[in-house]
Amino acid sequence: MLIYYLYIMDKKELDNKAEQLIKDIIQTNDYNVESYTLLLKKNHELQNEIYKLKDQLNEKNNLLKANNKIIKKVKYDVTENTKTKIADNYAICGHFGI
């Protein structure tokens, strides 16, 4: 009778441990599914942000190319304009002893 009682106690304890183990596995898998779903959502958001940034980069590159074309067309010589200013500034500085 004592052996039977110990067997029943062990079986109940074993059943309780098995039940708790199964619950833990289910809870862990639920957590994993939720995490995976959140990761997919975050990935989708990041991909959208990448596409927007690529579009902005393309727009800026196109603007830069257009501005470079405009700059290449300009044939203004800055040195001609500043030569007289430098000479005038030198004369003023020399005159006042600065």
Local confidence pLDDT in tens for the 98 residues of the chain: 545 555 555 667 767 777 888 888 888 877 778 888 888 999 999 999 999 999 999 999 999 999 998 888 876 665 666 656 655 555 555 555 55
Residue of 49, 44, 69 lying closest to 57 (CA atoms):
49
Tokens of 37: 């779903």
Tokens of 78: 């800055």
Kindly list the domain boundaries of the chain, sorted by start residue: 2-25+49-96
What is the 8-class DSSP label of residue 98?
-
Q: What is the pLDDT of residue 47?
A: 96
Q: What is the pLDDT of residue 12?
A: 72
- pTM value is 0.48
**Distance between CA 6 and CA 96 in Å, rounded?**
114
